[in-house]
Amino acid sequence: MDETDSLFEGMVLFTPNSSYLDQPQPQPQPHEQQQQQQEEVDHSVQPNLSGDGADHDSDTPSSLETASSQPLDESLFSDLTIVSPLPTLAEEIPSFSRQVSRKKKRASLRIGYGRDSAAEEVPVQFPAPDQSGSDDSQAELPVVAADSDGLPSTTANGDYDFRDGKDRDEVRLEQIKARISEKLELARRSAAAVSESRKEAIARSRRVAERLRGAAEAYAELERRLNEACESEDFETAERLSDSMAAADGERRSLMAALRAAEAECDAVESRMEEVLAAQIAAEEECAALLDQFAQDASNKADLVTRTAQEVSSKRMDEWLLSTEALGAKKMELEIESHIISKARTVLDTTIEDSVEDDKQERESLCKKRDVLIDELQKLLLLVKQKEQEIAETECNIEAVDKRITDVVSGFQEIQSNLDLKIGDLQSGLSNIEFESEALSTKKKEIDELLTQEEEKGAKLRELANASAEEAKTYEEVVRLRKNLMVSVLKSREDKVRLAKTEEKLSDDVQMLQQVISSSRASLQDLSTRKSSIQQDIASSKQKIMFIDKRVPELEAEKKVAAAARNFKEAARIAAEAKSLTVEKDSLQVSMERAASELEKLEEEIKDTIEKLQETEVLISSKEKEVAMARFERLLLTAGSATAERAAALELGDLEEANLLLVEAEAADSEAKELQPLYDFKVEEFTNIPKHFISMELVANLGKKQLEELAASVDFSPS
């Protein structure tokens, strides 16, 4: 049988010995009474063993018989003690399941006298209502203090800390969003500034291109008039037009250099625009990373807050269960003690009544006798003195009986006062327990509120984390769209720059080859002049040799005639002349041989120069076709880019820029159409031309939804 089944197990009533009765019982002072009452209710060690319970069960009847057979002592309940198990506060808090099992097991109570075990007891104090605040603090139940592990408590300060923690997360999110807005606004301002610089550079390039187009038309007109003047053999006009063409060509070359510089400036601005857009993409990536980090931190913090709140709530619930169990046991002890004291008071009242019952009956009989005697006194006036003596004796007896009754009542009055005081203290203790029970209920509500607040905080943090994660995904999607759209834009731009450099390089090559041709033609002209001069010299030498060949026979005949006429002087002169002609003929023949050899060399040089001229002209033709091909492809890219930029300008509301871009696109398309039939170009052969052109302005300024629409319009799916 369980030890708790016998509620009054161990209660022993006994009669003190005479020596104890003879000792005077001093009236305790209020403070001493309170200390005595505080020492009367103690925590005991573990419940009695089952064997002890059996012994008490066997001893109880004899004790009760003794109590009923002997009169009660006036200090019967002065040392009444309730002994209960002492909860070990130093033990670690067990798990919740163990607390549930312990909650089911009530601590057994041993009620009786505790004089023998008073030294082993640990008092639990119940202060009176008029005690100071320090005494009130001692009256608290043994509740293990909650751990302060950084969680917000349920006090007013704790509520402030909780709200402050929640506000810190929201403030951090607002700071992140403000930082993101600042970065994006800075990127947008930079993009707007670079876009404005880009427009100015493009406008300057357009003005230079217009001037170059006018200079090219003027040069073509001068060239046409020069050809007409040459055909009409108006050499003076041709000379003047040639000078004008030289000046126009110089201006055209300077304008071409200015156009190249303007295009280089446009390329530099485009590079800056690319850098700004890359910085914007990097800022958006950083924004996404910040939001991702905040979402991860908020989610981790929410999990930590929820987990810690659950741990603290579980720990505090365990403490609350321990406190509730201790309070319940204590309340039961006080209720049992109150019940026992009430029973004892009833027994005391009954004992008093039983003790004075005989005296009361005797008093009543004496009173009746006194009345009879008074009646007899009235009737027996003669026996007055005798009856007065009897009356006096009876009065003395009545006073003695009254004195005995008063003594008996006064003897129990102290016990009754002590019992009344104990009952008052017990009621005060019960009131304190009710107050502590309400405090525990309030504590449980605070624990529940703490758990609810922490769960709400965790939910709020998760909500912030989810919102940040969604916003980060939005930024990541925007970055992915911008990057992938920028690939097409940058490829078109790189192709334009590459084609412009190729065109410039090929144009320089053509110009160099034309200079080579001019040099070769000048050299060919010199060779032709030298050839003509040598041919003239050879012809003159041949004529001289023919004259000498004809003149020498004549001189020989004249010499013979003069010799026959004995005119030796004349014959000597003729002989000398003939000899000089023969020497001159030999010299002319040597000169002719040397001139013929030189003429042969000149003819070889002329032939080589002509072949070189032909090869250079073929190379120039090939280079010019390559230049035209690069220019044709660049014009197609320019027309497509201008069309895309015009669409962007229309979407951004810049009608003036849209009109200029339309003119630029039409001019590029018209020039491309002029080049196409000259070299039989086919657009399908140019595989680098994209099907759809995208404006960098749109990529930099559009939002997520518009970027998705743009990607969908160009049949582009982000990877």
Instruction: Report the range of poorest mean pLDDT among 138-152, 317-331, 578-592, 701-715.
Output: 138-152
Q: What is the pLDDT of residue 73?
A: 45
Residue 37 lies in a domain: yes
Residue 322 lies in a domain: no
Residue 264 backbone dihedrals phi, psi, to 5 degrees: -65, -40
Distance CA 122, CA 44 (A): 7
Instruction: Report the range of poorest mean pLDDT among 103-107, 409-413, 442-446, 661-665.
Output: 103-107
CB-based contact 672:632 (threshold 8 Å): yes
The mean per-residue pLDDT over the stretch 508-512 comes to 88
* Residue 590 banded pLDDT, cuts 50, 70, 90: very high
Residue 428 has pLDDT above 70, yes or no: yes
Residue 230 has pLDDT above 50, yes or no: yes
Residue 64 has pLDDT above 80, yes or no: no
**Element containing residue 235 per DSSP (H, E):** helix 235-379
The count of structural domains within the chain is: 1
- Whole domain around residue 41: which residue ranges? 1-125
The mean per-residue pLDDT over the stretch 240-250 comes to 85
Residue 136 lies in a domain: no
Burial class (CB in 10 A: 0-12, 13-18, 19+), 394: middle
Looking at beta carbons, which pairs linking 497-506 to residues 24 or more positions away fall under 8 Å?
Answer: 497/267, 499/630, 499/631, 499/633, 499/634, 499/637, 500/263, 500/267, 500/634, 502/626, 502/630, 503/627, 503/630, 503/631, 503/634, 504/260, 506/623, 506/626, 506/627, 506/630
Q: How many CB atoms lie within 10 A of CB 545?
A: 17
Residue 342 lies in a domain: no
Residue 153 backbone dihedrals phi, psi, to 5 degrees: -80, 180
Residue 26 lies in a domain: yes
Residue 3 lies in a domain: yes
Q: What is the pLDDT of residue 583?
A: 92
pLDDT, tens digit (0-9, with 9 covering 90-100), for 127-139: 443 443 334 433 3
Residue 57 lies in a domain: yes
Q: What is the pLDDT of residue 343?
A: 83
Residue 708 lies in a domain: no
* Residue 580 banded pLDDT, cuts 50, 70, 90: very high
Q: What is the pLDDT of residue 167?
A: 67
Which of these, 296, 287, 297, 298, lies nearest to 472 by C-alpha position?
Answer: 287
Q: How many CB atoms lie within 10 A of CB 556?
A: 13
Q: What is the pLDDT of residue 668?
A: 86
297 Cα distance to chain centroid: 7
pLDDT, tens digit (0-9, with 9 covering 90-100), for 675-698: 888 888 888 888 778 777 887 777
**Within 13 Å and on the Cβ side, how many CA atoms surround 507?**
14
* Residue 384 banded pLDDT, cuts 50, 70, 90: low
Between the CA atoms of 473, 478, 483 and 489, what dihedral angle is there, to the nearest 10 degrees?
Answer: 170
Alpha-carbon distances of 531 from 423, 506, 583, rounded to whole Å: 155, 36, 27
Q: What is the pLDDT of residue 342?
A: 82
pLDDT, tens digit (0-9, with 9 covering 90-100), for 260-312: 888 788 888 878 888 888 888 888 888 888 888 888 888 888 888 888 888 88
Residue 85 backbone dihedrals phi, psi, to 5 degrees: -65, 140
